[in-house]
Structure formats: structure tokens, C-alpha cells
């Protein structure tokens, strides 16, 4: 089978067409590292998928990554840990245009892992006695209070990897291996944006982090290239 015969490979537009109004999406990335830029751009250019709930560590930066979806007003609610790096997110929240649910970073990671593992929820000490505990079940263990946190899943996960083979096995680049691998386990449909697609058998098995059984579709990044360690839009240089 050659690369052109990859049955999991689809266009970014076909991938985005799977997203409907009001959908709940897991989106990989930490800051803008490991972010599926091409898929996000195509969502921002479309008009059929709005009122989205985005589950991600943050909302990119101003005009970058998920920050574009704020500008295009595709996001209704954001669930994550660190939104203040994007001033647009703060402004939208202050205006009542964006709902925000804050979850401590480690708790968010564990909630997604739990969702992918079929675990309904877990107890953690993090957040006890703070505003984040409001409305959550509390329980005492060994003389200390814990909060119950539900596992997190979504309809669709948009993740970013460095390479895929034609079966859908994924290899990540350095710290781009952040939330992406666990998100690949916690959605009904997993769409992986990758820089390169190679023949099955060409990836070192020891470097494969996400096995192909978790990946439904592959989209090739055709809008961005690495320059100086960062992704830059091809039309902007």
C-alpha cells in the first residue's frame, strides 16, 4: 500500500465537516506547542460548527491556535487550566461572551486519562476549600477532605503529532507530547493532524506513543512549517 492509499487520510475540510453546532471537542496543545493549527484554521473559516465547548489546557494566544476560534466566535465554553495568556479570552469572559470552567492542570490531565480508561471519576485533594470546590461532592479519607472529579470525554478529539504511518500509529515531537496522547483515548472520533505520513512499518515501534487503534482519521498539515522551532504559516514568510 502506498501513502496515497491511506484509508484513514482525509482532508482538513472533511474532518471539520464532522463537527456540528454545540459539539464538545478535546483539543491538544500546551500554550501553542502540539496544537493542530490546520484543523483549527479550517474550523475558523467554516460557519456550520459554532457554539462549541472546547476542552484544552488553554485557548492558544491572541490570533494563534484556538485564539482564532475566539475571534471567529466559534467557542461558547472553554474547559481548561490556563486562559490568561490570551487576552481575547479574558475580554470575552468579561463581556459574557465566553463561559469558562477552570480545572487545575494536573486534575485536567487525570480527568482526561480517566475518561479514556473508562473510569467514571476520582477523588483529589486539589481544590478543596476553594471556589473550584463549589457544587462538587466532597468526601473524607484518612482525616482529609477530597473532591470528586468526573472523568472527561468528548465527541471528537483534535490532536497533533509529528508523524503517522498509513495505519495511524503516531509519533510526537518532544514537548508536543503533552495532552495529545491521553486525548487520543478519550473521544468517540479521534482526528490526528500530522506533518508527515510514512508507509506502515517505517516508524520505529519504540517511538510510537499512540497506537493506530485509537486513531480514526489522519489529516496532513499543509499550511504550516517549522521555522526556528516554531510553526509559521507558509503564506506569511
Taking the C-alpha atoms of residue 62 and residue 88, their distance in angstroms, rounded to an integer, is 6
Residue 125 burial class via C-beta count within 10 angstroms: exposed 0-12, middle 13-18, buried 19 and up: exposed
**Strand runs labelled E in 19-172:** 24-27, 52-55, 75-80, 99-102, 121-124, 138-141, 144-150, 154-165, 170-171
Write out the chain's pLDDT in tens, 237 residues. 345 456 799 999 999 999 999 999 999 999 889 999 999 999 999 987 999 999 999 999 999 999 999 999 999 999 999 998 899 999 999 999 999 999 999 999 999 999 999 999 999 999 999 999 999 999 999 999 999 999 999 999 999 999 999 999 999 999 999 999 999 999 999 999 999 999 999 999 999 999 999 999 999 998 788 766 678 887 654
Domains of the chain: residue spans and CATH = 3-119+153-223 (3.40.1080.10)
Helix, strand, coil % over all residues of the chain, rounded to 5: 25, 30, 40
> Do 8 and 166 meet the contact criterion of CB atoms below 8 Å apart?
yes
With a CB cutoff of 8 Å and minimum separation 6, the contacts of 131 are: none
Amino acid at each position: 500500500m502506498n501513502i496515497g492509499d491511506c484509508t484513514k487520510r482525509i482532508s482538513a475540510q472533511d474532518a471539520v465537516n464532522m463537527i456540528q453546532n454545540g459539539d464538545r471537542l478535546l483539543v491538544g496543545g500546551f500554550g501553542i506547542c502540539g496544537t493542530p493549527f490546520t484543523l483549527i484554521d479550517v474550523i475558523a473559516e467554516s460557519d456550520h460548527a459554532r457554539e462549541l465547548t472546547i476542552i484544552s489546557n488553554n485557548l492558544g494566544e491572541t490570533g494563534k491556535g484556538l485564539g482564532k476560534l475566539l475571534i471567529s466566535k466559534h467557542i461558547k465554553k472553554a474547559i481548561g487550566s490556563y486562559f490568561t495568556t490570551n487576552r481575547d479570552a479574558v475580554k470575552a469572559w468579561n463581556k459574557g461572551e465566553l463561559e469558562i470552567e477552570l480545572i487545575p492542570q494536573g486534575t485536567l490531565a487525570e480527568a482526561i486519562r480517566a475518561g479514556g480508561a473508562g473510569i467514571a471519576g476520582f477523588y483529589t485533594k486539589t481544590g478543596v476549600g476553594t471556589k473550584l470546590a463549589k457544587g462538587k461532592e466532597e468526601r473524607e479519607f484518612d482525616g482529609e477532605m477530597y473532591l470528586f472529579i468526573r472523568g472527561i470525554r468528548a465527541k471528537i478529539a483534535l490532536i497533533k503529532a509529528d508523524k503517522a504511518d498509513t495505519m495511524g500509529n503516531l509519533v510526537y515531537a518532544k514537548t508536543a507530547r503533552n495532552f495529545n496522547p491521553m486525548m487520543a483515548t478519550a473521544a468517540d472520533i479521534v482526528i490526528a493532524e500530522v506533518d508527515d505520513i510514512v508507509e506502515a512499518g517505517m516508524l520505529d515501534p519504540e517511538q510510537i506513543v499512540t497506537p493506530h487503534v485509537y486513531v480514526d482519521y489522519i489529516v496532513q498539515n499543509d499550511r504550516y512549517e517549522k521555522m526556528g522551532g516554531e510553526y509559521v504559516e507558509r503564506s506569511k514568510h
